[in-house]
Structures are given as structure tokens and as C-alpha cells.
Amino acid sequence: MEVKNKVVEILAEQAVLEPSDVKMEMSLEDLGIDSLGLVESIFAIEEAFDISVPFNANDPQESDFDISSVARIVEGVEKLVAEQHP
């Protein structure tokens, strides 16, 4: 829950929305976050959770990190936090 709230907060700030307007099924496109905004969000996530997110802007689909929806991003961050801070 803690991870989810923080990720939503980061994405909301990037999208210039209220956290309450960010829904779990939304895509980055729905949120109006472009490629540069995504790279900035991932940086903010890495800083907030002290983790390293495997993501290459050249092939987002093939990166291990699923960015297809807010829910997938939250799951990905939870998994990385568990792996990197066991």
C-alpha cells in the first residue's frame, strides 16, 4: 500500500494531476506522460525507493519493467523493492 501510494504520487506529480485522479488501470498515455516524462518518473521512483529500475528508453516493451499501466508499474516497483531490499 505504501509503495502504491508513493508511485501514484510520483506519477500524479508528473502528470500534473491530483493523486485521487490517477486510476490503477490508466496507461501513461491516459495520464499524458510522454517519453521524457517517463524517464523522469523512473528516476523519481529509483530515488524514492532506493532501487535500480531496469529500463531502456529504446525498447520499453522489452525492458523487464512493465509500464503498460499504473497497476503494472506498482507491481514492478513492489517486486524490485522486495528483490533489492530483502
Choose among 55, 54, 36, 18: nearest CA to 28. Answer: 36
Minimum gap (Å) between residue 53 Cβ and another protein: 9
Could you tell me if 68 and 23 are in contact, meaning their C-beta atoms sit under 8 angstroms apart? no
Give the three-state DSSP class for 66: coil
Q: Contact between 16 and another protein (CB under 8 A)?
A: no
Q: Which residues contact 8 (CB under 8 A, 6 or more apart)?
A: 19, 22, 70, 74
Q: What character string, x for contact with another protein (CB under 8 A) and - otherwise, covers 30-49?
A: -----xx--x--xx------
Q: Contact between 84 and another protein (CB under 8 A)?
A: no
Q: Which is nearer to another protein, 4 or 44 (CB)?
A: 44
Minimum gap (Å) between residue 19 Cβ and another protein: 25
Residues that bind another protein (CB under 8 A): 35-36, 39, 42-43, 52, 55-59
